[in-house]
Structure 1
Amino acid sequence: MKKSSRWSLLLVALTAFCAAGTIIGFGTGRAEYDIVEQFKQAVGQKQMSDWHPPIVAVVWRCLYGLTGWIGSLFVCSALLYFTGVLLTAEYVHRRLGSRLGSLGVLAVSISPWAYSQINIPWKDTILTGALLAGCGCVMLIRRGARSKRTAVLALVAVGALIFATLVRKNAIAAVVPICFYLSWQLLPIAQRTMRKLQARSSAASSSLRRFVAWLAGSFVLIFAVGGAAVVADAGIARVWHVKETHQEYQVMLDDVMFSVPEDELNAADVTPKLKKRINTSRALCYERGVFYDAYWNCFGRGHGGDYQPIEESHRQGLEKLWRENVITHPARYLSYRWSVYRFYLTTSALEYFQYPVNTAQEIGFGTGPEPFERAVKTYVLDFGVEKLGFTFKPWFWLTGCVLVAAVALKRRRAAAAVLTLTASAFLYTAAYFPVIPEAHFRYTHWPAVAVSIALIAAFTEHFRGKSKRPAETADGPLREKTSAL
């Protein structure tokens, strides 16, 4: 057996060990109100709704039907995450020729900031696993190689990206760079297929054609992924009679309540009942010192699983207020949105969920072996949050996107993969600007994992040492001037 194959087996064994330890150690996984709500929908105790992604409830329903175990979604989430980790580690080993770098990928995958969210099957951690698996498949494609392996990797990657988009709607921002990368990997195959139909031309026009073809292929993939997600979501809604909750009105409510002055609100042409409700709720929010997520904090819904939509009688008024009193004052709107986004960038909450909420314990969620739980709590909270608190702040990873991308451009090592990961993380974080609801660290899980792995890939030459043979790099062409397409 070749040394490279033996090392691949070692990576599989180490990743399997981490996955098994995580699954056994955390038992059923943690659960809070969102998870409890989705479990009740999965087992038919509540009507399925689009408050949280219906695809998660559908997957859980299938898993629970097969296993009868409440922790099946957590196991699926953990396995998806570590599959993505293994694929990216194998990329660093096979394509970049760095064994130490591949171990670095495994190490950062269980770093305090990455491991802190793995014990709960948030849609955010499921998203991280799906995006990581998709990226890993794209990275492992040998650029321009026409083979069954390439076709399988490309199809699995597209499937993972569609699933990621179904899991979280704003994931499309993170998916875009990965589609560009996949298009770049497959471009030589498309060129060879079309070569007989192309007339000979100058090198300049040929280069322009390649660039246009790359862009066209990228947008085709983006629309294919987005379109497939929309069709699948509509199919799920029809088959499982998914209830619409109109969450977009939550965002409108925040914008109206905290950016429109009271006198302007009172003069608006909406029902007196809505005006009174907003004014009363705003005063309560300010009294509690919060200026975001008004639906839960002060509008009257409260916590505990009451996922009912804003009253239909208020929706038309909110939409009218948002259209006539919010977006017509862009400076005021941007000022408010920046204040919330800045709070998100500099604050961190729910870094580690230690115990299931009471309602979760009542239906069967529990903790794992006590020594493991105590060790992970010490590792994540006492070491990670206390000693490395900056790694749990979104601003750190947003800055890291730019710095790591700059390193990749300068050194020309694994540039395509690194730029894909950092761009995906950056766009995903930036996309929260108009909609960020809370300062939970789970919203930053994908950027933290993506930038951590990108950093390892960017410095692979330091891990290679004296290698007797060049790495089988899929990103090698980026070192040449012609690689810019």
Structure 2
Amino acid sequence: MEARSARAATIVGAGAAFLCLAALVLWWPGVVEYDSVEQYRQVLSGVYLDWHPPIMARFWAVLHLLGPGAAPMFVVQIALYWLGLGLLAAALARSGRVRAGVAVLVIGALPLFAGWQAAVLKDTQMLGALLAAVGLVGWWRLAEKRIPIPAIAAVCLLMAYATLVRANAVFAIVPLVVMLVPWPMRLWQRGLAIVAGVLAVLAVTPPINHGLLGAEETKVTRTLPIFDLAGIAHFSATADGLSPADRALIERHHCYQPYFWDPLGDDRRCGSIAERLDLVPARTLVTLWLGAALHHPIAYLEHRLAHLNSTDRLLVPLGRPDAAPPRRSEPNDLGLVSPSPAASAIARAGGWLVETPLGWPIAWIVVAATGLLVALGRPKSPPRDLALALAVSALTLEASFAVVSIASDLRYHLWPMMAVALMMVLLVAERPLPRRAMILGGAILIAVVGAGTAARLSLPRSPGTYQGMLG
């Protein structure tokens, strides 16, 4: 029996290695988007800014010694992605859950996930690092073995990188870590630990970015207050923090869009507002921001709900941009090229999938909430505990978008979507889902999908490009 399980784990692991190699060949040397181009420009110039995570640019600068372009970073994130999925799949196969192991590989190979993972971005760097960390934990935990010290060190390093490589990653990683630690803690104690951990990481991140990593400070932290002030002004009769002229300009040029904050920073539209607020002392801007939210709570709530609907892609039209995996690299003068036409075909398949509920974060949220309730109702076990940690991580990150998000790109949701998919595999592999949970969760999911489908069929088709969304 043990020999058969070991053989199954080897076969599944070999399958992950094959898929990793196939991804490297198909998408070589990786896809770069606008953010990636700007970070590579920092690598070449040696001047680092905090608009994008400096840890990624610094890491890229180290790998640049191995070769130019995006290829070194592309190899790292693809290798981490399939290492994590391969370890988790092999661990499931080793425990006799071969179908679950195969399901993990199928999920990783979906054009929606695989296509995005080929893009060298902070989001995919985060996804690769987190999957590798979860895979290492799962390899030992699913066998009910103690994790060796070197593996713990590797997990800590991966988690630290993932935390620094996305500004909002803290809302996913701290909950994941807290739920994974094997210390005896009640659920409310873990909740307090999550809050304390998030606050601690938020406090130490700026000194790390500006001090340790030497990134120059930009106005990136002002985008959220400016977006919220514009949203409050749009939904209220008055405009705390903005002058009547500002509000008139926003309305005249349609600079407020729940989809993203970008028109407010566009010089051709409302950039003058952002430029003026950039000169306001940080403490004053925060006071204006919080004061406007307190004085106009209904308008603030309308604005945040409008954006949440947009980023969760519930009641939105067909053709929303920034959802399909990129087919080619952003035009640039830095020598960053595009992958082969075969990769473009797979990305096109991923583009079809994003128009289905598989590409709607709101659908994954419903599944995550259902899985959370199922996991909480089960006794402790390695698959259940890992599934619970993934569910909490996904839901806390998604919850953070209700307050701190400023754009609706699907790539921001890659980790929650993948975490929820793996959560369901772990739960189903252990035992069938309870009938009550399936009925309740299924009914809510059907209602969400029905509402989303109706919106997509009835609303005018969305502009399919970034420039189109700018208007």
Q: 1:374 offset after TM fit, Å?
A: 4.5
**Alignment partner, residue 336 of structure 2:** 365
- Alignment partner of 1:300 out of 246, 266, 274: 266
In 2, Cα distance between equivalents of 1:12 and 1:436: 37
| Contact persistence 2:78–2:117 (CA under 8 A) | yes
Q: Which runs of 5+ in 2 are unaligned?
A: 433-471
Q: Does 1:393 align with 2:392?
A: no
SS of equivalent residue, structure 1 residue 82: helix
In 2, Cα distance between equivalents of 1:329 and 1:439: 24
SS of equivalent residue, structure 1 residue 432: helix
Counterpart amino acid of 2:22?
Answer: G
Instruction: Count residues with an aligned counterpart.
Output: 417
Q: 1:281 offset after TM fit, Å?
A: 3.5
CA deviation vs aligned residue, 1:421-477 (integer Å, no higher than 9, x gap): 1111111111111122222110111111111111111111579xxxxxxxxxxxxxx
Normalising by structure 1, report the TM-score.
Answer: 0.76
In 2, Cα distance between equivalents of 1:144 and 1:240: 38
Counterpart amino acid of 1:390?
Answer: P
Q: 1:230 offset after TM fit, Å?
A: 6.3
SS of equivalent residue, structure 2 residue 7: helix
Cα separation, partners in 2 of 1:399 and 1:85, compared to 1, 3 Å: same
Counterpart amino acid of 2:20?
Answer: A
Q: 1:245 offset after TM fit, Å?
A: 1.5
**Bigger mean CA deviation after superposition, 149-158 or 36-45:** 149-158
Normalising by structure 2, report the TM-score.
Answer: 0.78
| Contact persistence 2:365–2:395 (CA under 8 A) | yes
Q: 1:165 offset after TM fit, Å?
A: 0.9
Q: 1:349 offset after TM fit, Å?
A: 3.1
Counterpart amino acid of 2:41?
Answer: K
CA deviation vs aligned residue, 1:355-391 (integer Å, no higher than 9, x gap): 11222xx322222232x22441343234x245xx111
Which has the higher Rg, Structure 1 or Structure 2?
A: 1
**Alignment partner, residue 386 of structure 2:** 417
Counterpart amino acid of 1:458?
Answer: L
SS of equivalent residue, structure 1 residue 244: coil
Cα separation, partners in 2 of 1:393 and 1:315, compared to 1, 3 Å: farther
| Contact persistence 1:282–1:298 (CA under 8 A) | no
Q: Does 1:337 align with 2:298?
A: no
**Alignment partner, residue 455 of structure 1:** 424
Counterpart amino acid of 1:363?
Answer: L
In 2, Cα distance between equivalents of 1:392 and 1:22: 21
Q: 1:26 offset after TM fit, Å?
A: 1.1
Q: Does 1:159 align with 2:133?
A: no
**Alignment partner, residue 248 of structure 1:** 221
In 1, Cα distance between equivalents of 2:91 and 2:359: 27
Cα separation, partners in 2 of 1:61 and 1:418, compared to 1, 3 Å: same
| Contact persistence 1:256–1:318 (CA under 8 A) | no
Q: 1:218 offset after TM fit, Å?
A: 8.8
Q: Which runs of 5+ in 1 are unaligned?
A: 188-209, 464-485
Q: 1:239 offset after TM fit, Å?
A: 5.1
Within-5 A mapping of 1:90-109 = 90-94=90-94, 96-109=95-108
**Alignment partner, residue 238 of structure 1:** 211
**Alignment partner, residue 139 of structure 1:** 138
- Alignment partner of 1:381 out of 335, 351, 361: 351
SS of equivalent residue, structure 1 residue 141: helix
Counterpart amino acid of 1:238?
Answer: G
**Alignment partner, residue 203 of structure 1:** none
Counterpart amino acid of 2:420?
Answer: V
RMSD (Å), alpha carbons: 3.3
In 1, Cα distance between equivalents of 2:197 and 2:301: 32
Question: Which of 1 and 2 has higher RCO (CA within 8 Å, sep 6+)?
Answer: 1
In 2, Cα distance between equivalents of 1:313 and 1:30: 36
**Alignment partner, residue 349 of structure 1:** 321
| Contact persistence 1:166–1:229 (CA under 8 A) | no
In 1, Cα distance between equivalents of 2:10 and 2:241: 68
Q: Does 1:74 align with 2:45?
A: no
Within-5 A mapping of 1:197-346 = 210-211=184-185, 234-235=207-208, 237-238=210-211, 240-260=213-233, 264-265=238-239, 276-277=245-246, 279-285=248-254, 290-294=257-261, 296-301=262-267, 312-315=278-281, 318-345=285-312, 346=314
In 1, Cα distance between equivalents of 2:141 and 2:169: 26
In 1, Cα distance between equivalents of 2:198 and 2:136: 16
